[in-house]
Chain A
Amino acid sequence: MATRAVITLPTAIKAGQAFEVRATVAHAMETGYRSSDEGVRLPRDLVRRFECRLDGELVFAADLFAAISANPYLAFWLRADKPGELSFIWRGDNGFEHRETRPLTVA
């Protein structure tokens, strides 16, 4: 199943001005502490790491743990002087990896 991610950027970004980036990826974030109805423990399956890069340079990173809700959401603030490319990556248990890129247009 293809993983879905939602990334929200402001429609107009001015050079040198702060803007908020919001990123969500579809993921159950199974904690490893829950059991199924049959009493079988559900194995841990988490997104462990999120990284956002601007033209290859790391601008925001997060290490996630079981206490982060399903479909992990992160919002943070960036500043850019020139247009570029934002790249996002989520990595997790069981080889989970999802990448997204968004063009960053700066007025």
Chain B
Amino acid sequence: MRRREFVIAASAFALLPEAKASDAAMRTAIRAWAGREPEAGVLKIEIAELVENGNAVPVRVAASEPVAALALFTPLNPEPDVVQVAFGAASAKPEFSTRMRLARSQRIVAVARAADGRCWQAGVDVIVTLAACVEP
């Protein structure tokens, strides 16, 4: 690569948004969603402990009692938010499944919000051997 091309490529790289969240950013996002600091509680997070491909990781979050909403957060993806779901009256179980991206090994956090405003959270560690393509 010639020097000029390198400089152009490097400046393009610098223009990318800050592509990494942090524990602090995740806590801020959780507080913004829950409206308060959630206490530690019981939430079932089903995800493979060892993930080979971070591009599509099946994950299931389930609460043990009826909740109004559930959300999933990560500390080390480019953004802390993953998904936020809300349940209506015809909902049969306070749970959902989806497929998420994982940029690296980290502790993902699920948060539940009950109709009466109570909030609680639980986390689970995931090891990723091949990360999602979030960086060039």
Taking beta carbons and an 8 Å cutoff, which residues of A are in contact with B?
A: 18-19, 22, 31-35, 39-41, 54, 57-70, 72-80
Contact = CB atoms under 8 A, between A and B. Distances in A.
B86 A61 contact: yes
Contact of A67 (B12, B81, B95, B133): B81
A61 B88 CA distance: 8
Contact of A34 (B8, B57, B133): B133
A57 B90 contact: yes
A69 to B, nearest CB: 4
B19 interface: yes
Contact of B98 (A39, A59, A70, A75): A75
Given A60-B86, A76-B96, A39 B91 contact: no
A55 to B, nearest CB: 9
A70 B60 CA distance: 17
Interface string B48-63: 0000000111001000
B16 A33 contact: yes
Contacts, number: 127
B9 interface: yes
Contact of B12 (A22, A35, A62): A35
Interface residues of B, number: 41
A32 to B, nearest CB: 7
A41 B83 contact: no
Nearest to B54: A69
A17 to B, nearest CB: 8
B28 to A, nearest CB: 15
Most chain A Cβ neighbours within 10 Å, of B17, B57, B87, B133: B87
B101 A68 contact: yes
Contacts of B102: 67
B90 A68 contact: no
Most chain B Cβ neighbours within 10 Å, of A19, A57, A62, A79: A62
A72 B66 CA distance: 25
Contact of B82 (A18, A35, A68, A78): A68
Given A67-B74, A68-B101, A75-B97, A39 B12 contact: yes
A33 B90 contact: no
Given A35-B12, A76-B95, A60 B19 contact: no
